[in-house]
Structure 1
Amino acid sequence: MQQTEQSQKEVILTQNPALKERKLRLRWLLAISSLPLFGIITAFGIAPQTATQNIAISTIVENIALPEISAPLVSENLESQNYWQADQVRRDDTLASLMARLNIQNDEALEFLRRNPDASALASQLRPGRAIQAQVNADGALLKLQYQLSSTSTLTIERTDSGYQAKTGEPSLEVHNVLKTAEIRSSLFAATDAADIPDSIAIQMAEIFSSDIDFHSDLRKGDRFAVIYEAKYDNGHLVNTGQVVAAEFTNQGKTYKAVMYRDPAGKVAYYTPEGKSRHKSFLRSPLEFTRISSGFTMGRFHPILQRMRAHKGVDLAAPIGTRIKAPADGVVKFVGVKSGYGNVIYLQHTGGVTTVYGHLSRFASGLRNGMKVSQGDIIGFVGMTGMATGPHLHYEFQLNGVHRDPLKVALPAAQPIAPQYLSDFRTRSANLTAQLQLLSASTLAALD
């Protein structure tokens, strides 16, 4: 037993030197393989210092020829450095504070703005939000000024060789088309308000489609419309809206379309995309909102004369001052006073038609005999002059001198677009109709 243990110890002892030698060999290999890494680290550690110590520093001076400047950097004529400055009138502005903000410093201009009768409109009509722009030179001398007095009037002040001059005129406006669409939830005006469409455009649409849609009773929730209308801008500021250019209205599942056409004479009318007129030759009623207080009859008890008498027209009850529109194009045959009619207007139309308007409170400004009027023009205002017991319009319709019931007579057919304008209209109509279809399609896609 003891011999066995002794022999094992001898074996272990004889193996130990070999083991030690193997371990020593591994350590040397590890040390040798690590030398490149230590070298890199050392290089990073000492290279910067070593490099800076060994670089020789020297100063070199060299003459460089500069190019000649053909023009002075600063203009010799400072007055040629003119610039425009645009601003808006603020709530607490005075003429002095506004001129200071526009950098207008010459006394001659300030005195002109205060004393000239036309230029003084600037100081008396400072309204917050209105646009103003001025051109001045480097010395602060006013060269030109433009101020928006109203949506249709601009004040222009300009320096000339003989001094400053002021004039008032229509602004030079940029016209752009605006495309909008909306859906009826409760009323037309509620829909246009939600879509940020001006009331004037809503009123125009109601008039354009009035022969097909009664906007008081026919509208339904879910009806839709698309409209293209003119917007007028002055230096990027919206001044006002113009006319409807094209419109599409879907009411109770049926779609109506209208396209505006302005002929070379400047007359505006609305047609279907095919060229049929959307205007009736005659409006059925010359009043927008009314009720019939007395109809057309050959035998009526007259409330003032207290006897039976023919009533050869209709009485349309309305408040005093209600506007009266010409139902069709025509010429003023008579405007003045006639016994029982009081203030009365006779209009002569084509096709042997004459219309009469009695008991007016007053006439439209400037209305005179022989004057031409267009359909929709305001000719007078409801009253109760002459033999009348209350405010109303007495309206007559005569065909070749024979009285007819205005509410039942067959109205003349409207004329389509003139043949000489048809080709131009079709080109315009195709473009606008495509825009309306694209606008409607994008709206339906957004709803889906």
Structure 2
Amino acid sequence: MPLTKLRILTYRMTGAERRFSLRTLVALSSLPLFGVVAAFGLAPDTTTTDITPETITEAIALPTLAGAANSGTFERETVIQSGDTIASALGRLKIDELEIQRLLATDAVRQLATNIRAGKHIQATTTPDGQLLSIRFERRDGPTLTVLHQGDSYIAQDSSDQVESRVVMRSGHIVSSLYGATDSAGIPDKIADKMAETFSTNIDFREDLRRGDTFSVIYTVNYRNGEPISTGNLLAAEFVNAGKAYRVVLYRDASGHESYYTPEGLSLKKGFLRSPLEFSRVTSNFSSSRMHPVLGYARAHTGVDFGAPTGTRVKATGDATVEFAGRRGGYGNLVILRHQNGYETYYGHLSAFAPGIRRGRAVNQGDVIAYVGATGVATGPHLHYEVRIAGKPYNPLSVKLPGSPPLAAAQRTRFLQQTANWSDKLGLLRGTNLAALD
């Protein structure tokens, strides 16, 4: 073979070897990758219907919960509901029935059973099978009652509860009614009642309330072991009615007597309240000649009729002594109060008298003396209210009534020391948009 052809053949063979070596290297390096893909896939047309599923169960050891080894008791709690007895409440705690009977036989629990109150908590510690170890009862007044199971008997003892009073500040605005607004602001009814009573000498909540009126209140709440147990006192309040602001602060004098004043020291306690009812409507005004709805002829109407549901509380409009309490003609059940300086007030058509209301009894302004009714000559439940001066009837809604004496000058320093802080906080509430500050 000629030398030239030999060189060409050698060159071609060398190129083929190079191409073979490169393809071989790529193929070999790709084997692990395609092996992985093959492990997770199936070739097309592979039949899987003849593969039998296999279930494998394996026990796994769970970690021990902290404290589980020593857990031999259960803590249970219930809240006394309306209509509950101690026995029914204890039944919800999964306590053995025999244990309940033994518990109810103890003097302390038997006494508690006659004075239970909805909303109070009962906490029990039991064994897993319901055997009682100890139980704690919240009481209406006083410390929590704790009963311990020792041997075959129970030992009752008062707990050393931590009781404290906290100051709460809230504000709101009127949309439709005072109580609707106070409910929306989370203000207890007791505070709403006191606010309505305190401002009633300046604001008629039947007629004067306006949409957009605002209010702020500062009051106390009593806590036991960090849980609220009762509402305390109204310390200060502001009510802005039709753009005019009214403020009150609570003052306690040296003898412990409490009363409300303006921040400047002027008494808010008028000689008379504007109305003997917290909320009502005027159904018949004072008149020298009115067609009587029952008798059918014109006659003088010597008072004002306030329509209200039967049982609505009737309050004394001023400090007084009970002159009469009983049945009298068309008035039906009637209370007459004698005030100073020849003033008298009449409260007629009552359904019942408050306990202790009898001739000679002294009452304070705002005390409940009776309840609205429809006794005597009446077409429906309402209160007939009169104001008489030296025996002559005057229109209760327009007559000028005497006020209360102002704060004595000797008490001014004490008054300012007590109340200045509350006035500052009312200003803070008014300047913020917060609905509540606890």
TM-score range, shorter chain: 0.5 to 0.7
Tell me whether 1:89 sits opposite 2:78 in the alignment: yes
Gaps in structure 2 of 5+ consecutive residues: 1-73, 82-87, 127-131
Distance apart, 1:331 and its partner CA = 1.4
Verify the 8 A CA contact 2:106 2:154 in the aligned structure 1: no
1: CA distance between counterparts of 2:91 and 2:332? 55
Task: Give the secondary structure class of the aligned counterpart of 1:260.
Answer: strand
1:375 to 1:173, Cα distance in 2 relative to 1, 3 A? farther
Task: Give the secondary structure class of the aligned counterpart of 1:368.
Answer: coil
1: CA distance between counterparts of 2:431 and 2:296? 64
1:309 to 1:250, Cα distance in 2 relative to 1, 3 A? closer
Using CA pairs under 8 Å that are at least 6 residues apart, name the structure with larger relative contact order, 1 or 2. 2
- Aligned counterpart in structure 2 of residue 370 of structure 1, from 360, 365, 370: 360
Kindly report which structure 2 residues correspond to 1:400-415, keeping only aligned pairs within 5 A, or say none: 400-415=390-405
1: CA distance between counterparts of 2:290 and 2:244? 42
- Aligned counterpart in structure 1 of residue 260 of structure 2, from 263, 270, 280: 270
Name 1:200's counterpart in structure 2: 190
Tell me whether 1:328 sits opposite 2:332 in the alignment: no
Kindly report which structure 2 residues correspond to 1:22-37, keeping only aligned pairs within 5 A, or say none: none
Q: Deviations over 1:221-250 (max 9, x none)?
A: 554332211111122111121221111233
Task: Give the secondary structure class of the aligned counterpart of 1:261.
Answer: strand
> Match for 2:287: what amino acid?
F
2: CA distance between counterparts of 1:419 and 1:180? 32
Kindly report which structure 2 residues correspond to 1:133-144, keeping only aligned pairs within 5 A, or say none: none
Identity rate of aligned residues, in percent? 44
Task: Give the secondary structure class of the aligned counterpart of 1:385.
Answer: coil
2: CA distance between counterparts of 1:189 and 1:225? 12
Distance apart, 1:126 and its partner CA = 8.3
Gaps in structure 1 of 5+ consecutive residues: 1-84, 137-141
Tell me whether 1:337 sits opposite 2:334 in the alignment: no
Tell me whether 1:230 sits opposite 2:220 in the alignment: yes
Distance apart, 1:377 and its partner CA = 1.7
Q: Deviations over 1:363-402 (max 9, x none)?
A: 1123222222221222112223223344332222121233
1: CA distance between counterparts of 2:348 and 2:116? 44
Q: Deviations over 1:187-229 (max 9, x none)?
A: 5444433432223323332332234444455555554332211
Kindly report which structure 2 residues correspond to 1:28-67, keeping only aligned pairs within 5 A, or say none: none
Q: Which protein has the bigger helix share? A: 1
2: CA distance between counterparts of 1:259 and 1:248? 9
- Aligned counterpart in structure 1 of residue 269 of structure 2, from 266, 274, 279: 279
1:86 to 1:227, Cα distance in 2 relative to 1, 3 A? farther
Kindly report which structure 2 residues correspond to 1:14-413, keeping only aligned pairs within 5 A, or say none: 88-89=77-78, 95=90, 113-116=103-106, 118-120=108-110, 130-132=120-122, 147-150=137-140, 152=141, 156=145, 173-184=163-174, 187-215=177-205, 218-220=208-210, 222-287=212-277, 288-297=279-288, 299-300=289-290, 309-413=299-403
Q: Deviations over 1:110-152 (max 9, x none)?
A: 775221355136679988963357999xxxxx999752244x4
2: CA distance between counterparts of 1:96 and 1:323? 38
Verify the 8 A CA contact 1:183 1:222 in the aligned structure 2: yes
1:167 to 1:317, Cα distance in 2 relative to 1, 3 A? farther
Distance apart, 1:167 and its partner CA = 9.4
TM-score by length of 1: 0.64
Q: State how many pairs are aligned.
A: 346
- The structure with the larger Rg is 1
1: CA distance between counterparts of 2:170 and 2:330? 50
1:436 to 1:378, Cα distance in 2 relative to 1, 3 A? same
Name 1:81's counterpart in structure 2: none
Distance apart, 1:271 and its partner CA = 0.9
RMSD: 4.2
